[in-house]
Structure 1
Amino acid sequence: MNIQWFPGHMAKTRRLLAENLKMIDVVIELLDARIPRSSKNPEIDEIIKDKPRVMAFNKSDLADDKVSKDWQKHYKSIGYSCIFIDSIKGTGINELKAMVNDAVKDKIDRQKQKGYVFRPVRTMVVGVPNVGKSSFINKIAGKASAVTGDRPGVTRGKQWIRINEKIELLDTPGILWPKFDDMEVGSNLAFTGAIKDDIYDIAEVAATLMERLKNTYADKLAARYKLEGIDDMSGLDLLTAAGKKRGCLVSGGEIDLYRIAAIVLDEFRGGKIGRISLERPDDILTVKADKGAKEMEVKEDFENGNQDEN
């Protein structure tokens, strides 16, 4: 399952980020707590370079709390300021404001020493589509400042928002990158709704998700859809069985796979299956090891004279 999505307005957003960065003091990089690796746009690092940054993992209420704590330890160990937040309940928002101010404390102190009155801290929030940026902005601002929606691509233009007398925030549209080299990244973004459902086969995506959940959260999956003996079931088997349990039938008694697929994806995204994390810090080491082994294999083939003559 190879999922790719990079509509034209995202190229414009990439240029917008680069053009406005010079007026920004701190970047708030908003990520999905369920998929910390897949929701991290690799182009953001290149765009913002050494600009102070705070990583905020949104939708923490939907993620496995134990796994989230492991992620927090991982990122702190490599020098990133990060916090897990819930933009609906407001969990972590005040701490995030403090982290933003702390990120520019040295700059403010230098300005004061020179006799300047420092203006409000200017921040920019960036992230993939449907990561909850608008809900985050409304919560941090304490009012409905941004258009919200449960589908990717709601925010189309930049907008400045006054958070308080100390912080101003530049909202930007969600942005992906032109090509997902790892097919699992595309799948994870599809599972969580960062990619529009109408560009892929939702039955295939839902079946893939159910197989992933069988391997990681089997008890929660079985309980939600009242399934038994799922160990040897494929993703399609699981989707079909869930459709039967939910009465998703068409004429002739066949299972309506697209109807049950829409239900499964909606319930996963809404946390109804349970608090689930699709990625763990150890996965990064596994990916690097697999990549290194592949590169070594290619190198050995070349040195042994098995290279492609073309």
Structure 2
Amino acid sequence: MNELVNQKVIFVGGKGGVGKSTSSAALALACAKEGLKTLVVSTDPAHNLGDIFHKPLTHEKTQLDDHLWGIEINSTKETERYMDQVKSNLQGLVKTKLVDEVNRQIDLAAASPGAEEAALFDRLISIILEEQDSFDKIIFDTAPTGHTIRLLSLPELMSVWIDGMLQKRQKINENYTQLLNDGEPVDDPIYEILQKRKEKFSAVRDVILDEGKTGFIFVLIPERLPILETKQAIKQLHQYHLHVRTLIVNKVLPETADGAFLEKRRQIEKQYLIQMDKEFKNQEIVKIPLYEEDISDLDKLDIFSKHLQSKVKEEVK
């Protein structure tokens, strides 16, 4: 499980209800227990991190334990902030009489598909680029699978889009220079803004695509639908050169679980575990047992984290 030691940025994804947030929290706690300064960040609109640690979390860093800090990104507020930034960038670039109409169009764009992902990704970029030198580990607890794939595919898609915009803008500037500006180069604030965005996307893209810096972990349970969804997600991420190397299989029935009902469940579960070994030969599988009680406080989370912490110690050795 090299992600626990060697890679600075870790994304934890998976189907809803399989224990992503608990796994992210346990992984973060395991790293912190090993003395690694760790930041755990929730990008899931249905935040659970604060509830797990019994501390209110905001968009700013909050200390959760020794060597451990947490952030919950509010997608609504991030979208508002992102759109306000767009408006700010356009100040002085449009005629005064058009400002109200431009702002109205931006407000409408905030409700369009993809606006929330763009805002979340902008915040994610900032966290990675601004905090990577301050922390040994940055762990992202992401939303359910489809949302995660859209979020992680944005560096590739946005880079292509910005390249296209820059080319168009450059052509306009060249025409303006030749025809209207007596051959003198023109100052173009929009081009400068796009260029800065490109540099920012490029920097975070380099981090995300670097397997020495960034790892992807998927959480699932030994049931048919999570296995199918995880298989599809791994395939889709692979198309964007993002490779899932580790799977956390949560809620595996322990041998001590007794009774005819649980024995029948265990036999079904064994078939799914065998299927996982066949389907996910390129991934390391870490099995976490089903506990008698919910992970409802730090003591119970610590029990979960010890399974992962043992992996950290193995890799350190």
User: Normalised by the size of structure 1, how large is the TM-score?
Assistant: 0.31
Point out which structure has higher relative CO (alpha carbons under 8 A, 6+ apart). Answer: 2
